[in-house]
Amino acid sequence: MTALDLTGRTAIVTGASRGIGLATARSLAEAGAKVVLTSRSQESAEKAAVEVGHGSVGYGAHAVDEDAAKACIDFTLDTFGSIDVLVNNAGTNPAYGPVVDQDHARFAKTFDVNLWAPVLWTSLAVRAWMGEHGGSVINTASIGGMGFEAGLGVYNASKAALIHVTKQLALELSPSVRVNAVAPGVVRTRLAEALWKEHEQLVADASALGRIGEPEDVASAVAFLASDASAWMTGEIMVIDGGQRLGNAQAFR
């Protein structure tokens, strides 16, 4: 057994029907974990679980629905007997455009899904299992939460808040529960499609490693944070961006 082996552990991944969530569920399952994949609909959750395999199961639970979240926590404990890993991956961005042009509904939805849901699921997992038995929580943040860019002000603010909350929870829940986050750059997902689809090469060229990210790039980092290989890490934000924040390496050639 290696430090990256998750055999005997159970993980919940929210927003797992596609993109980074689906890749993360697959990575955790391949490392030996039993995985519960959530999505807003039972059908999409089950479809994703079949795709992942390895005994994974799907559970329909909108990330901000407290009753559904609690039911999923109870289902996971009844089915597998533990909740050792929680990946708060569900995210949304309905508030594209200048901050001053956003209405309350779009603002609230962004913060509900991107910030409140991770707090909700973490609270439920800690009370039901992790508080007594320990565990690892990984939040999906974004490099957008570390800077500023046109059109993404509300989304980036929600991710900046999630970075702060990750560190706060790490302190509050230590030493039994570790809380970390990944901060992806532009990744080939449906949520980020508007950022790369029409100008993929330009986005790729603007990063040191010369390509946009794949969901699997982020999933590997999540699996590391879920495992004992990161046992002395908490409150950390792992940037997974292919050197996007560094810029175009060709300028140095």
Q: What is the pLDDT along the chain (253 residues), one digit of tens a residue?
A: 678 999 999 999 999 999 999 999 999 999 999 999 999 999 999 999 999 999 999 999 999 999 999 999 999 999 999 999 999 999 999 999 999 999 999 999 999 999 999 999 999 999 999 999 999 999 999 999 999 989 999 999 999 999 999 999 999 999 999 999 999 998 887 766 566 566 778 777 788 898 888 999 999 999 999 999 999 999 999 999 999 898 876 666 6
DSSP characters for the chain? --TT--TT-EEEESS-SSHHHHHHHHHHHHTT-EEEEEESSHHHHHHHHHHH-TT-EEEE--TT-HHHHHHHHHHHHHHHS---EEEE--------S-GGG--HHHHHHHHIIIIIHHHHHHHHHIIIIIHHH-EEEEEE--GGGGS--TT-HHHHHHHHHHHHHHHHHHHHHTTTEEEEEEEE-SBSSSTTHHHHTTSHHHHHHTSTTSS-B-HHHHHHHHHHHHSGGGTT--S-EEEESTTTTT--GGGG-
pLDDT of residue 204: 76
pLDDT of residue 253: 63
CA distance 104 to 110: 10
- CA-wise closest residue to 238 among 185, 187, 182: 182
155 is catalytic: yes
Q: Please state the domain extents for the chain.
A: 10-239
pTM of the model: 0.95
* CATH C-level class of 10-239: alpha beta
- Residue with tokens 């999630």, as numbered in its chain: 162
Among the listed residues 80, 111, 121, 155, the single catalytic one is 155
**How far are the Cα atoms of 146, 199, 244 from residue 247, in angstroms, in the given order?**
15, 16, 5
64: which 2 tokens? 């901000």
Contact of 12 with 71, CB cutoff 8 Å: no
CA distance 26 to 20: 10
pLDDT of residue 193: 59
Sorted by sequence, the CB contacts under 8 Å of residue 184 that are 6+ apart come out as: 20, 140, 142, 143, 213, 217, 218, 240, 241
